[in-house]
Amino acid sequence: VSPYIAGFDALVLGVQLDAGPLFGLKAVRLVPEFAIGLSGDASVLFAVGGEYRFRTLKMSEAGTRIQPHVRVSLGLLAAGGDTSSEFGFNVAYGVTLARPTATGPRLFVEHQGIGFFDHNRLAAGLRWQF
């Protein structure tokens, strides 16, 4: 479960869910996503896609590690006001700060290209593993 806050041109609150391996591959995860845009024209995003999680990279001797990821999803961005609703591909890439212990939340940051980069968001949030 990964709640996040995002923005560039609007404040967005969202959540992603790791629904498990996709195609039986541990590094490829099924990730549904839901987000609500709160500022400007209100919007709602529903998407589902595949996320590839690269190997964890050790960044320091103190144990700081990052895990890069990339996600491609298909979704619907329903917006109000002068903005029309869009159905299309979304692309995201980012990193998760991996903790030396497996418990507790982990910070992640990602760039989201909604509608294949028609709308851009910088998201930051927490990932919990159960």
pLDDT at 81: 62
Read off the pLDDT band of 42 (50, 70, 90). Answer: confident
The tokens for 45 are 């995003």
Burial of 130 (0-12, 13-18, 19+ CB in 10 A): exposed
Instruction: Check pLDDT > 70 for residue 15.
Output: yes
pLDDT at 6: 83
pLDDT at 105: 86
Burial of 96 (0-12, 13-18, 19+ CB in 10 A): buried
The tokens for 41 are 């024209």
Burial 17-28 (b: 16+ CB within 10 A, else e): ebeeebeeeeee
